[in-house]
Structure 1
């Protein structure tokens, strides 16, 4: 059987409340929050003594979701990535937005940093990459021709 659908993308963050605020400002809607722990979580993640807080957010159209999680235990000693966009394995989520400049200005107070520049491809779209919570790279894409 082939893939039925993509359920969500997950991002581990250090500050769950700040990351939720970032994605809510972007326009996602908080579905719910929970704490997970126990043998099932240990088996799923492959670590012992897991206790994590998670928040699930969805896009306004209801088709995509982002899971944000922070681990109380075990504590990771590996720092968050800050590599450039072209490094293999760097998480990148892209969202279609109404106006790149407006969204970028709203996200800056939440710690968003523009990776390079806002770039325009012909008269089709404007696009930029923003570094957000835990180093995750967020693409902001404004369609200049709807349905492009």
Structure 2
């Protein structure tokens, strides 16, 4: 048995349209959207009467995907949108970009806020974390 590939990362957001806009501003592309419900979804998620909308965004190279979902039923459970980086299980996604500064400018109108500072790691890269939709932490790396 061997893993063939990582298919996608998924997380729940309260505002699907805002989350999609955030990732499009980051530079990802919308791959598709769907409404999900039915017995198979209930069984998969171990929830009753699942009704959710999802959007899948992908990196321009098509190799990485993020599934964003919002639940209409059952009600979304509150998370910890301002949890610090060292909380067990907090989602953290990292993307390599051409320009860290330009990326931050694109994300600011979508509510992105720096977690710490922009840091330079030797002669390798500039790196920062921002908060994205539902508090997910997004790493942004500009390689030299």
Residue in 2 aligned with 1:5?
A: 5
**1:129 and 2:126 aligned:** no
**1:141 and 2:127 aligned:** no
- 3-state SS, counterpart of residue 40 of structure 2: helix
Distance in 2 (alpha carbons) for counterparts of 1:77 and 1:27: 29
Aligned length: 144
Residue in 2 aligned with 1:33?
A: 33
Distance in 1 (alpha carbons) for counterparts of 2:9 and 2:114: 22
CA RMSD of aligned residues (A): 0.8
Residue in 1 aligned with 2:52?
A: 52
Do 2:14 and 2:76's aligned partners in 1 also have CA atoms closer than 8 Å? no
Distance in 2 (alpha carbons) for counterparts of 1:8 and 1:58: 9
Of 70-79 and 106-115, more deviation after overlay is shown by: 70-79
TM-score of the aligned structures, taking structure 1 as reference length: 0.95
Q: Which runs of 4 or more aligned residues in structure 1 lie more than 3 Å from their structure 2 counterparts after TM superposition? A: none
Can you give the 5+ residue segments of structure 1 that lack an aligned partner in the other structure? none
Do 1:81 and 1:90's aligned partners in 2 also have CA atoms closer than 8 Å? no
- 3-state SS, counterpart of residue 70 of structure 1: strand
Distance in 1 (alpha carbons) for counterparts of 2:79 and 2:92: 17
Do 1:37 and 1:51's aligned partners in 2 also have CA atoms closer than 8 Å? yes
Shift of 1:77: 3.5
TM-score of the aligned structures, taking structure 2 as reference length: 0.97
Shift of 1:132: 0.4
Residue in 2 aligned with 1:112?
A: 112
